[in-house]
Amino acid sequence: MSSAGLSSLSLVAVITLTASVNVSVGVSGCKAPTAPAPTLTPAELLDPATCQGCHPDAFADWSGSMHAYASDDPVFLAMEARAQRETGGAIGTFCTRCHAPMAVLNQLGGADGGTDGGIDLATLPAPLKGVTCFFCHSAQAVTGTHDNPLTHATDGVMRAGLQDPTPNTAHDSAYLALLDRNDPSSASLCGSCHDIVNTLGTPLEQTYAEWQGTLFSHEPLELTCGECHMTGTQGLAANYPGAGVRRVHSHQFPGVDVALTDFPQAAVQQAAVQAQLDNTLQAALCVKGNAGQVSIQVVLDNVGAGHKWPSGATQDRRAWVEVIASSAGQPFYSSGVVADGQSVLDLKDPDLWLLRDCIFDSQGQPVNMFWEAASHDSNQLLGPVTNVQTDPSYYLTHALRTYPASTSVPATLTTMPDSVTMRVRLVPVGLDVLDDLIDGGDLDPSVKAKMATFSLGATTLTWTAATATIKYPEDGLPVLCVASGLSNGGVGAHPAPEHTMCTP
């Protein structure tokens, strides 16, 4: 679509800009202003490529982020196609309101050119793909709690979290608390698309609501989404005369999901996600008992996520604990050992600790696709509500699982291990979900092999009796533990949350 075509789009068409002056804005940066009037047209403001000229660092970060990738992701495209088909188009722009919001705001769907009631993503022009610069930086207010309830300004002013923006000739600028990661209200802007309630009224993604229930949402800690997902450095907010060095923030937005096709900075993105995950959980690995009556205890503690874990599209996430006990160098007990390319749901493992949401249709039958969900059941790890260790609620995040489970046969191990290893593993979208999309003809089978499997660094532990640093009695039996961080073994821990409605 040409610039002229873009400038006629409904939202952008009503933006009023002041008179133009002769100023050059390009990939090499911005030239000195010759007059204080902004010159970028509505169509240019809409296009992230325009922003690259003055904001190369932010653009580079964004261009390799899941925000830029949101409407190109093959899993999203497969789910969108299937949702449109299975609902007869009734789902409309539900998905694209967050994955290609500028296309929706500019009425490029339904009768205006979409297919099956949604957005024609195959012909969508680049400036309308993904979560763009304009979408966030023209935001004006949050009027609800989920499914993108943002309202946008139509005055051509680009808003940000800088209280003293540098006057420039590209566009007018203004401060907006919603874009200031140090302001608590900024979490509501992120939450507008990171809390999702489907068309049946079932809450699915609840990351913002989860954050509101943790100590991160209030004093004295009070860390917003941006303070965890937009790291800060000293630098230039814009390559523009008079724009001095200040605190600027990354626009990579690492979370859990990663690009599955050729995409800018894919390796950087995956490394950022790994770094984010490595310190999210702390763990303790304990062996309880003596020869003839032995059990293994694993404690997981969500210390780093400002919400429950895993979060986001939790019905699609697959997180689990791998435990392997060995004697004389030979494994004799294991749980959660998953081969490359295997779905964790394929395991016949009665002791498996699997963290995910289960979703069900109106008849209570398990389903994979979010638009079918009439109810859900979760066993996420809780987020921290206090950092005061004398407060009993401090230990609500300490989730303990015993191996073998009390319902397993036998319920204890008869061999004392020489060593035990553990780690928490995470697949952003379960291979079983991908198989479902492949079987339906909506997803290229080659995508499955590209799905990442992460191991969380702080949960990768090896236990031996010699290296155990935490020792205490429980039920008259000795307990020896190794741990990461400040974990104190199973002391104060609660039984891990179980699914009440579904089993792996």
Q: Which region among 59-68, 186-195, 237-246, 408-417 has the lowest average model confidence (pLDDT)?
A: 237-246
Residues 279 and 175 in one domain: no
Residue 352 lies in a domain: yes
Residues 435 and 305 in one domain: yes
Residues 282 and 390 in one domain: yes
Residues 6+ apart with CB under 8 A from 12: 6, 42, 43, 45, 46, 106
- Between CA 220 and CA 239 the distance in angstroms is 36
Residue 55 lies in a domain: yes
Give me the pLDDT at residue 16, please: 40
Residues 6+ apart with CB under 8 A from 49: 126, 127
Residues 174 and 320 in one domain: no
Give me the pLDDT at residue 243, please: 87
Give me the pLDDT at residue 147, please: 95
Let me know: does 197 contact 235? Beta carbons within 8 Å: no
Residue 246 lies in a domain: no
Task: State the pLDDT confidence band at 18, using cuts at 50, 70 and 90.
Answer: very low
Residues 332 and 440 in one domain: yes
Of 180, 210, 241, the domain-final residue: 180
- Checking if the pLDDT of 281 tops 90, the result is yes
Could you tell me what percent of the chain has a pLDDT over 90? 79
- Checking if the pLDDT of 7 tops 80, the result is no
Q: Please list the residues that pair with 148 across neighbouring strands.
A: none
> Structurally, how many domains does the chain consist of?
2
Residue predicted with more confidence, 114 or 66: 66
Please write the tens of the pLDDT for every residue from 135-163.
999 999 999 999 999 999 989 999 999 99
- Checking if the pLDDT of 25 tops 60, the result is no
Residues 283 and 145 in one domain: no
Residues 175 and 318 in one domain: no
Residue predicted with more confidence, 109 or 427: 427
Give me the pLDDT at residue 92, please: 94
Give me the pLDDT at residue 217, please: 96
Residue 407 lies in a domain: yes
CB atoms within 10 A of CB 19: 8
Let me know: does 439 contact 407? Beta carbons within 8 Å: no
As a whole number, mean pLDDT of residues 20-41 equals: 51
Residue 464's domain comprises 271-495
As a whole number, mean pLDDT of residues 71-95 equals: 96
Q: Which region among 17-21, 89-93, 113-117, 190-194 has the lowest average model confidence (pLDDT)?
A: 17-21
Residue 232 lies in a domain: no
- Between CA 487 and CA 485 the distance in angstroms is 6
Of 117, 149, 180, the domain-final residue: 180
Of 123, 151, 180, the domain-final residue: 180
Residues 312 and 431 in one domain: yes
Task: State the pLDDT confidence band at 265, using cuts at 50, 70 and 90.
Answer: very high
Task: State the pLDDT confidence band at 291, using cuts at 50, 70 and 90.
Answer: confident
Residues 175 and 291 in one domain: no
Residue predicted with more confidence, 99 or 491: 99
- Between CA 153 and CA 141 the distance in angstroms is 9
Please write the tens of the pLDDT for every residue from 202-250.
999 999 999 999 999 998 889 999 999 999 999 999 988 888 899 999 9
Residues 159 and 277 in one domain: no
Q: Which region among 33-47, 99-113, 386-400, 423-437 has the lowest average model confidence (pLDDT)?
A: 99-113
Give me the pLDDT at residue 503, please: 61
Sequence-ordered alpha helix ranges (H) in 203-265: 207-212, 225-229
Give me the pLDDT at residue 296, please: 98
Give me the pLDDT at residue 36, please: 56
Residues 6+ apart with CB under 8 A from 430: 316, 317, 318, 343, 344, 345, 356
- Checking if the pLDDT of 72 tops 90, the result is yes
For residue 487, give the nearest of 367, 395, 417 by alpha carbon: 395
Residue predicted with more confidence, 107 or 444: 444
- Checking if the pLDDT of 20 tops 50, the result is no
As a whole number, mean pLDDT of residues 397-413 equals: 94
Task: State the pLDDT confidence band at 502, using cuts at 50, 70 and 90.
Answer: confident
Residues 175 and 298 in one domain: no
Give me the pLDDT at residue 11, please: 52
Residue 234 lies in a domain: no
Average pLDDT, the chain: 89
Residue 235 lies in a domain: no
As a whole number, mean pLDDT of residues 162-172 equals: 91
Residue 364 lies in a domain: yes
